[in-house]
Each structure stands twice: as structure tokens, then as C-alpha cells.
Chain A
Amino acid sequence: MKDQIKALDSINLEIKNGDFISIIGSNGSGKSTLAKHMNCLLLPTTGDIWVDEMNTKDKSKTWEIRRKVGMVFQNPDNQIIATTVEDDIAFGLENIGIKTELMRERVDWALEVVEMGEYKKSEPHLLSGGQKQRIAIAGAIALHSSYLVLDEPTAMLDPRGRKEVIDIVKKLNREENITIIYITHLMEEAAESNWVIALDKGKIALTGKPEEVFTQIEVLKQLRLDVPQITELALRLNKRGIDISPHTLKVEDMVESLCLYI
């Protein structure tokens, strides 16, 4: 068809249990499209996606895959359907037919993990953006998902809300061993992950540990992404002959290095 747009182009990717990977890219890079393939919301035109050895194209496995791969979206309001927090978290559990007694346990557990226990009976419209996203996360993990895909979860939040979300996500990976796939265009968030994949026009442009990826300043600028100020400074000073590692990511490290020269 003439008007087809290749949203994703020869993506080869392997994600292991317990990983915390971030996918970065500018608008139109295909990162959201990629995310939606992981829980069968979209199916690949060619190629296959396997989740725990289940093929997403296998219609009989769709619901099991969706149970395993939880998903949190960008708009905090458009994920909450119930009139109270606890009912919304229970929504997913009701869908898969969990028994009522077990549901209560799961809801309480999910609320504890996202640290929103005291808001159990609150109405969603009274919550802040960051709180709403935490509820969305709770609703996803209540299904005991082993994987959590977050599609730009902080795009519509203020700095405080962003911190709430990224802290909970780190905690989920660290303490509950949930595999995190985090989509963003914010460097400081991608820096919290263990592995970064940068997309450009549907292709993988860069991949590696955060400190490796963020030092590729020229490529990042070409991908129209932000570059951490400290890393750019380190690179520039390094080019001028000052012995500062171009892989510097943190302010503290830069300060230590500079102390020797100033």
C-alpha cells in the first residue's frame, strides 16, 4: 500500500527477567508503537514477539500475555475508570475472575507497594497527577505482572510527580523484581535504568548502558534528544585537553574531577 508508514523497522531486542531498560527517542521515533506490541495491543506486520515463550500473534494467549505484561500510559486521567481508588485497582482483578477474598489482599498489597495505602477510599479526581499514575501502576501490578511497560508515564506530570513515579518504578524493579520497560524522552529518567535503547525513525540507533549512551553527544543531538549538561561539559573540557572522563554523568563526579584543576 502506498500510504503505509514503517513505524518500526527491523527491531531485534531481547529483554531478560529483572531488567530495567529504557527506550528513548523523539516523537515519531516509534517508541510508543514498540511498547504497544509487548502486550498484543499491536501485532507486528512481519517478525515475532515472544513473551515467556508465548507468541503475541497467538490469539489464544493474548489474555495470558496481558496478565503478565502490565502497561501504564501517559495520561493519568484516562486510565482510571472507577469511582474510588480501591475499586480501580480491583478492576483488573475482576476482569480475570480472581475470587473476592484474594482480591482484597492483592489490592492492599498493590497500594502498599506504591505507597498510597491511605488513599484507598479516595476519589480519583482529588488526586495529583503523580498519585494518579501510582494508582495506575498499582492497578497493573495487582495482576502480579512480571513485566511492566510504562509509556511516557511522566510526560504530563510536574517535577514532583515525576519523582514519585520514577522512585516507585525503581522500587518495583529492585524489591519486587519486576522487569521494567520504561519509555521516555527525559534523560534524567533514562539514566536511572540499567540499559538504554535509543530509537530513531523506527530503528535502533543506539544501545548500551546509560553512561555509554549519554556520552554519544553528537548522535543524541542528531536524534533530537537532550544531553545531560554535565556529560556535555565533560566532553568539551576533555576535547580541550583537560583530563576529565567523557563518561561523567553525575554532578558529584564532575565536582571531584574539577577540584584537581581549579
Chain B
Amino acid sequence: MRILRNISFGQYIPRDSLIHNLDPRIKILSCLAIIVGLFLITKFSGYLILGCFVLISIIISKVHPKYVLRGLRPLLFIIIFTLIIHLFMTEGEVIYQLGFLKITREGLVKGLLISFRLFILILTTSLLTLATSPISLTDGIERLLSVFKFIGMPAHEIAMMMTIALRFIPTLLEETEKIMKAQISRGADFDSGNIFNRAKNLIPILIPLFVNAFRRADELAIAMEAKCYRGGEGRTHYRELKIKKTDILTFALTIVITITVSVMF
């Protein structure tokens, strides 16, 4: 737990790269475009081309591959799981059999394709969070959502909630650790027992956390009011988002490649 105090939260790795310096809105939209494209593509070569595009972007971002792989690790399970499901569950020409488990050619092809698609999807979103600071991301999301204000989208409120949540994650983690230690010191046990027992054993941690969280929220609200907060009306922005030439070119490039590949493959 101590480790988290020293490393910045989230996956963000600060670097001075083309990707890092792009407007967050462009990055979010490009990311979405690529993801849409991934779902339209049906052939392997299409995935390969888009995958290379993403890989090149990662290289440009100057973020060391080890960070990318670290982000991949927790999701590796899902990729392998998907592969296995498709391998064993697809009907078709059997190429290998072990007892009652059959691996079909179609299953192999489909499994590999979909796993690969998932792999590139994760790479793309990883790149987004590795190369964009949390504030930048929330700013970008707020501006993008503001477009929908006319239909009642609470863009500012959503962004405010995200910011506050991000700000308090490390604090809440620390608090959780403290509460756990305090309860262990009076005999609580979080390691033993079946699933039901373990869930019940979490109550001495969850209730204090919730109670404290509500109190925090109350105090925070008062502090915000004292600093003249009155909702999103009339607020200006400390961080300016300006679309530069690089942003437009990058976005254009992304869209062109994505559309071309989706159509052709």
C-alpha cells in the first residue's frame, strides 16, 4: 500500500512526446474511432495494419514498453479466456481432440482473430491513459460531453465527480489500510473462512469507510461553497484546450487510416 503513495495514481507516465502533447479531445475521439474500426474489421490483415498504427503511436509516445505490458497483465486473463472459449466452443472441422474437448479450425481462426482484436483494443486504451494525465482526460471528457448540454447532459458535474474521485483514491486507499490494521489489532481476521465469512468480515472496514466518506463529502461541500462554488454556471477554465495543427493532422490521419482499413478489410 505504501508503494501507491509514491507513484502517481492511474497509469499516467509523463513524457514530452507528440502523443502526450495532443489535445485530449483528439486523443479520446481517435481512440474511439480506432475501437469502432476494430469492430468493423473482419480480416486478420486489417487488424495487423491498425495494430501497427497503434504500436507506432506507442513508440512515438516514448513510453517504455514495460509500462504497456504492465497495463496488459491484469487483462491477459480475459484475452486467454476469450481464446479458449472460441477454441473449444465453435462448431466446425475438428483438428485436435482431447477426450471430449474439441478444437476446430474455425474455432482457432475465430479465437485468434477476436483475441487479437481485444489485444489491440487494450493497447489503444492503454496508450490513452499512459499518455494523458487524469486532469487532461477529465477536461477532455467534460468538453466533449458539453456538446450535449442542450439535451441536459450534466457535463460539468460529471467532470467534477471524476476529478474528486481521482483526487481521493490514494487518500481512501491509505484510510482503508489504516482501518484494516486497526481491526486486525483487535482480532479481526480477513484471510480465513469461506466466501460468506470473508464478506461478513469486510463489514468492520466498509462501514467506517462509508461513514468517513460521508463526513468527508459534507466537509468538502462546505469548503467548496466557501470558495464560491455554485455549480457550472459562469465558470472559467484554468487549463485551456486549444486545437493545434498537429491535433488536426493526427486526427485526420487516424480517421483516414481507420476508415480505409475498415472498408478494405
Query: Which residues does A use to contact B, with CB under 8 Å?
Result: 39, 41, 63, 66-67, 70-71, 73, 75, 77-84, 86-87, 90-100, 103-104, 107, 123-126, 136, 139-140, 143
Instruction: State whether A71 touches B226 (Cβ < 8 A).
Output: yes
Instruction: State whether A82 touches B163 (Cβ < 8 A).
Output: yes
Interface size class of B (residues with CB under 8 A): 20 to 34
Instruction: State whether B167 touches A97 (Cβ < 8 A).
Output: no
Q: Which residues of B contact A91 (CB under 8 A)?
A: 224, 227, 229
- Provide a sorted-by-A list of 16 A–B residue pairs whose CB atoms are within 8 angstroms: A41-B226, A66-B225, A78-B216, A81-B224, A82-B167, A83-B167, A94-B238, A95-B230, A95-B235, A98-B236, A100-B237, A107-B238, A125-B170, A139-B227, A143-B227, A143-B228
Q: Which residues of B contact A70 (CB under 8 A)?
A: 226-227
A92 to B167, CA, bound (A): 17
Given B5, B135, B164, B236, which contacts A94 in the complex, CB threshold below 8 Å?
B236
Question: In this complex, what residue of A is CB-closest to B14?
Answer: A121
Given B166, B174, B223, which contacts A73 in the complex, CB threshold below 8 Å?
B223
B177 at the interface (CB under 8 A from A): no
**Would you give the shortest CB distance from B177 to chain A, in whole angstroms?**
13
Q: Which residues of B contact A104 (CB under 8 A)?
A: 238
Given B5, B163, B166, B224, which contacts A126 in the complex, CB threshold below 8 Å?
B5
Q: Which residues of B contact A126 (CB under 8 A)?
A: 5-6
Count of A-B contacts judged by CB separation below 8 Å = 98
Instruction: State whether B228 touches A63 (Cβ < 8 A).
Output: yes
A237 to B167, CA, bound (A): 55
User: From DSSP, what is the main secondary structure of chain B's interface residues?
Assistant: helix
B32 at the interface (CB under 8 A from A): no
**Would you give the shortest CB distance from A226 to chain B, in whole angstroms?**
26
Interface flags, B1-16, vs A, CB<8A=1, else 0: 0000110110000000
Instruction: State whether A84 touches B236 (Cβ < 8 A).
Output: no
Instruction: State whether B227 touches A99 (Cβ < 8 A).
Output: no
B234 at the interface (CB under 8 A from A): yes
B240 at the interface (CB under 8 A from A): yes
Given A83, A90, A97, which contacts B234 in the complex, CB threshold below 8 Å?
A97
Instruction: State whether A99 touches B236 (Cβ < 8 A).
Output: yes
**Would you give the shortest CB distance from A36 to chain B, in whole angstroms?**
8
Apart from the given pairs A66-B227, A123-B9, 7 other A-B contacts in the complex at a CB distance below 8 Å: A82-B167, A83-B134, A87-B238, A99-B236, A123-B170, A125-B5, A143-B227
Instruction: State whether B228 touches A41 (Cβ < 8 A).
Output: no
Question: In this complex, what residue of A is CB-closest to B215?
Answer: A78
B220 at the interface (CB under 8 A from A): yes
